[in-house]
Amino acid sequence: MPKTAPVLGGTTVKLDPVFEAEFNMALVHETVRAELNARRQGTASTKTKGQVRGGGAKPWKQKGTGRARAGSSRSPIWTGGGTVFGPSPRHYTFKINRKARRAALRSALSVHAERGSLAVFDAETFAAPSTSQARKLLADWKDGSSVLVVLHESEEKAGLSFRNLERVIAVPAADAGVADIIRARALLISKAALPELVARASGGDA
């Protein structure tokens, strides 16, 4: 029997078969890791002994001073010296095949459909940005839960309405990642964004 989801304010909507996928833990985990890694800047940088300014001259002669031998004042064991095996700029990304990403997205969407934490709403009711209207909409459904609101790129007024609510994140359907969907306790999708999200999960966006 096809799954359905409530439409906030009244009726229900029949969900596409992409919301009926079997959950694949390994695939979702790998995709989430890839998405989170891609968000890392990887700009941390340190200098080695050879890159730190100064230290060209031997601080003191090799023998006769009673002190330990030293060849440079920029040795890693000296204050102001270089760093041993410190971080350098790098990228953390790794590739996930397109089919695997789609399957992971289907798994994440199906989790919400299975546990009843998915709902649909009409973003056109937001004639102007209204935080109070957005708060009331969520209070009637999932008050207190962390909610991911998925919108069509044209629904800017609705996005502005949810922006200042605590534990609520609003994103365009094109930017909703598996990590965002699986992390949220509840998923709220606009009517206009639902077909776009289904297309991404089924491969229609290719």
- In this prediction, residue 98 carries a pLDDT of 94
pLDDT at 206: 42
d(CA 105, CA 96): 12
Counting Cβ atoms within 10 Å, is residue 127 exposed (0-12), middle (13-18) or buried (19+)?
exposed
pLDDT of res. 47: 94
Helices (H), 95-191: 98-115, 131-139, 156-162, 178-183
pLDDT for position 10: 81
Cα 117 → chain centroid: 19
Range list of β-strands (E), 42-178: 118-121, 147-151, 168-172
- The stretches in the chain having pLDDT less than 70 are 1-2, 143, 204-206
Token pair belonging to 24: 């694949």
Which domains occur in the chain, in start order? 4-38+97-202 (3.40.1370.10), 41-91 (no CATH)
Q: How many Å apart are CA 20 and CA 137, to the nearest integer?
A: 26
Which tokens hold the place of 178? 């598996």
Other Cβ atoms within 10 Å of 104 Cβ, number: 29
pLDDT of residue 1: 60
Classify the C-alpha dihedral 105-154-115-182 as positive or negative.
positive
